[in-house]
Chains A and B, each alone.
Chain A
């Protein structure tokens, strides 16, 4: 079973397609998921996913925008897609019938 951050990385890489690399994935996670993402967390998690065979990475071409430096490109493997799907299904099943906030926007457990 994936961890939450691993799932976010897989989703960002899958959404970005051929343009999936460190800076773009970090921006996607921070803007879309609304959570801070350090390069340390991103690259060590990518290494772990690659070791599990869930993503492939390779060095891309240098670009002028990056001061002539190369990008580490990322592609989700079939195994990675299956793992992400299983995680998504599990979260969806667990969430079915769960009301995190009532119609007035109050969360269960908050003081009235």
Chain B
């Protein structure tokens, strides 16, 4: 099997894990069948492997238990924080409100990072689904936003720390226990401090305590 057809098969095999890719491409090279059949084989196996992932609770929790509700919650928090900035720039800046506003910004960054970390750690191989469930409400809110697209950017202040968290979660999957407790405790301040979410916000505290439950315990 050579040429463009084989290149397509090799590209599709990128959807498989490293060991399985090696085995499947070897099997196809040995059987020397038609490229379309090879492609069908690879795509069929990749689809089955992906569907298997959804038999676990993890992708459901990451996508529909966290990415979807957290994106709505964090957009609200982002608007609150950007409103704080507006207030600071319009009025006379004094030390007390500046500190209060900065602490809200830090809380937003912390909460977004925790949510991103949990999504990345809980289900690495279905990140695309979590990204979709996060983007859907974002795009909807963007389409309904009354101002210009530049002012709509205030909806997405959470994105950068959340993406940072996702990258860290994919790499490490587990935090040290001390860090996990610190972040989970800090995240508990987000709903009252940002006056957002109420019970909804409280219901979104589980990623922080999930990180505590799965944190690395140092051996003594």
Residues of A near B23 (CB, < 8 A) are 22, 43, 59, 69-72
Do B26 and A66 touch across chains, with their CB atoms under 8 A apart?
yes
Give residues of chain A (2-16) contacting chain B, Cβ–Cβ below 8 Å.
none
Distance between B69 CB and nearest chain A CB, rounded to angstroms? 33
Residues of B near A41 (CB, < 8 A) are 44, 48
- A80–B121 Cα distance when bound, in Å, is 36
Residues in chain A within 8 A of chain B (CB atoms): 21-23, 26-27, 38-41, 43-44, 59, 62-63, 65-67, 69-72
- Whether, in the assembled complex, B195 has its beta carbon less than 8 Å from a beta carbon of chain A, the answer is no
Q: How many residues of B contact A (CB 8 A)?
A: 21
Residues of B near A66 (CB, < 8 A) are 26-27, 29-30
Query: Would you call the interface of chain B mostly helix, strand, loop, or mixed?
Result: helix
Residues of A near B30 (CB, < 8 A) are 23, 65-66
Distance between B129 CB and nearest chain A CB, rounded to angstroms? 20
Do B47 and A40 touch across chains, with their CB atoms under 8 A apart?
yes
CB contact under 8 A between A70 and B22, given known A38-B44, A40-B45, A44-B48: yes
Give residues of chain B (1-52) contacting chain A, Cβ–Cβ below 8 Å.
19-20, 22-31, 40-42, 44-45, 47-49, 52
Do A44 and B26 touch across chains, with their CB atoms under 8 A apart?
no
Residues of A near B44 (CB, < 8 A) are 38-41
A-B contact pairs, 8 of them (CB 8 A): A27-B31, A38-B41, A38-B44, A39-B44, A40-B48, A63-B26, A66-B26, A69-B23
- A22–B45 Cα distance when bound, in Å, is 13
Question: Which residue of chain A lies nearest to B16 when distances are taken between CB atoms in the complex?
Answer: A43
Other A-B pairs, 17, CB within 8 Å; known A40-B48, A67-B29: A22-B23, A23-B26, A23-B30, A38-B40, A38-B41, A38-B44, A39-B27, A39-B41, A65-B29, A65-B30, A66-B26, A66-B30, A69-B23, A70-B22, A70-B23, A70-B26, A72-B23
